[in-house]
Structure 1
Amino acid sequence: MAEDLNISTSVNKADQYTSLIPQIAALIEGETDLVANLANVAAALKEQFNWFWVGFYLVKNGELVLGPFQGPVACTRIAKGRGVCGAAWQQEQTLLVPDVEAFPGHIACSSLSQSEVVVPLFNNGEVVGVLDVDSEHLAHFDAVDVEYLEEIVKLIKF
């Protein structure tokens, strides 16, 4: 696959995801290094949607530890159940947060982040990390994002 994505931003969001998913699959196909694949997935999502922050946290020694990401510096470690990422890990489900200030225990890694979606990554039925996406706009994410981001994380092999 070429280094540049080939997706128009003039089409609707679902069509952008539909075009992006096979490109991500081709990008990570055959690559066995997890960090390389997470880095390319984060970069592809950031490039396509121009979100404020896109990245991964991986479960290590009982906490989420910052992994590959695109955007400003981020929180390095997050406890299980803490903030949106820790809650998604604990609940083992995707969390869609239209206003992070209204989320109990939200961790403000950046005061510019206004909305967030966090998708758990599973390996053999266990959460091994999360995909975290932040926007500087309120209510930026919706069910379309949840559907396709959940599909994208299933492409990642551990």
Structure 2
Amino acid sequence: MSFTVPDLTGDRPAQYRELVAQSEALVAGETDRVANAANLAALVFHALPDLNWVGFYFYDGRELVVGPFQGKPACIRIALGKGVCGTAADSRKTQLVPDVHAFDGHIACDGDTRSEIVVPLVRDGELIGVFDLDSPRPDRFDAIDQYGLEAVARVFLATH
């Protein structure tokens, strides 16, 4: 099967609706979480502008462990409550960080990152992991991104 990442069109909410539809098509019929995470990370990395890292961390019962991603090599393990990813996992709330240097306890896996959004992956009350996006541009993410990326995360959670 061949999949091309088409250019997103329309205003930003419309672009996210297209991205969610592309996400659903990409993972349709597949239940393997690693395969789906890999494809979704690649899709989002290539579809959205100004990103330097997109990926998943999975909760192993003790800490977050890096999963499929696009970008530079990443931190392998992150404790709950530590950094933006660990905070999102521990609080189970999306973390939207306009300036990572102002986030107390930020873990700098890539020194080029200036802003970040992390969506917790929770199904039936159980922490699965987090969906993490970094940008070299300060203040890259806003409420529209949060809403759209939470929708992409729901697509992932529905696949396994």
Name the TM-score class by shorter chain. Answer: over 0.9
Quick one: distance in 1 between partners of 2:55 and 2:24? 17
* Number of the residue aligned with 1:40: 39
Quick one: distance in 2 between partners of 1:52 and 1:12? 22
Kindly state the Cα deviation for residue 7 of structure 1 after the two structures are TM-superposed: 2.7
* Number of the residue aligned with 1:56: 56
Contact (CA 8 Å) 1:116, 1:135: kept in 2 or not?
A: yes
Contact (CA 8 Å) 1:56, 1:130: kept in 2 or not?
A: yes
Kindly state the Cα deviation for residue 48 of structure 1 after the two structures are TM-superposed: 0.4
- CA deviation vs aligned residue, 1:60-118 (integer Å, no higher than 9, x gap): 13100000000011000000000000000110100000000000100000110000000
Is 1:89–2:101 an aligned residue pair? no
Kindly state the Cα deviation for residue 3 of structure 1 after the two structures are TM-superposed: 1.1
Is 1:124–2:119 an aligned residue pair? no
Contact (CA 8 Å) 2:6, 2:47: kept in 1 or not?
A: no
Paired residue type of 1:49? L
Give TM-score, length-normalised by structure 1: 0.95
Contact (CA 8 Å) 2:117, 2:141: kept in 1 or not?
A: yes
5+ long unaligned stretches in structure 1: none
* Number of the residue aligned with 1:20: 19
Question: How many residues were matched structurally?
Answer: 157
Quick one: distance in 2 between partners of 1:88 and 1:75? 16
**RMSD value, Cα:** 1.3
5+ long unaligned stretches in structure 2: none
More RCO (CA 8 Å, sep 6+): 2
Give TM-score, length-normalised by structure 2: 0.93
Quick one: distance in 1 between partners of 2:137 and 2:5? 24
